[in-house]
Amino acid sequence: MNQDQLSDEIKTLVSKVIKVPVEKIDVNANIFTDLGVDSLLGVEIFAALDKKYGLNVPEEKLAQINTLNDVIALVREMLSGKA
């Protein structure tokens, strides 16, 4: 899977969780202030990522997440580490 495919998949997954049309999601927007993600939605997003990609994201990594690009980079990093 290339980087664009992964980005699109994650963007679509987040769109479904937060119920915002995918075309309205800016990957550089702050997911908490701009996209309205609260702690519960954050947990849902990472649960969906875990289910889809088999990732168990450490809590210290979650504290570093601010944008959708951060989420994409983290998933990419964790997937490359698993490969």
Q: Could you list the pLDDT tens digit for every one of the 83 residues in the chain?
A: 788 899 999 999 999 999 999 999 999 999 999 999 998 999 999 999 999 999 888 888 888 899 999 999 999 999 988 64
- For residue 29, give the DSSP letter: S
Domains and CATH numbers, the chain: 3-82 (1.10.1200.10)
Question: What are the pLDDT digits (tens) for 54-76?
Answer: 988 888 888 889 999 999 999 99
- Asked if 75 and 55 count as a contact pair (C-beta separation under 8 A), the reply is yes
CA distance between the termini of the chain: 12
- For residue 64, give the DSSP letter: T
- The b/e string for 52-68 (b: 16+ C-beta within 10 A; e otherwise) is ebebebeeeeeeebebb
- Predicted model pTM: 0.87
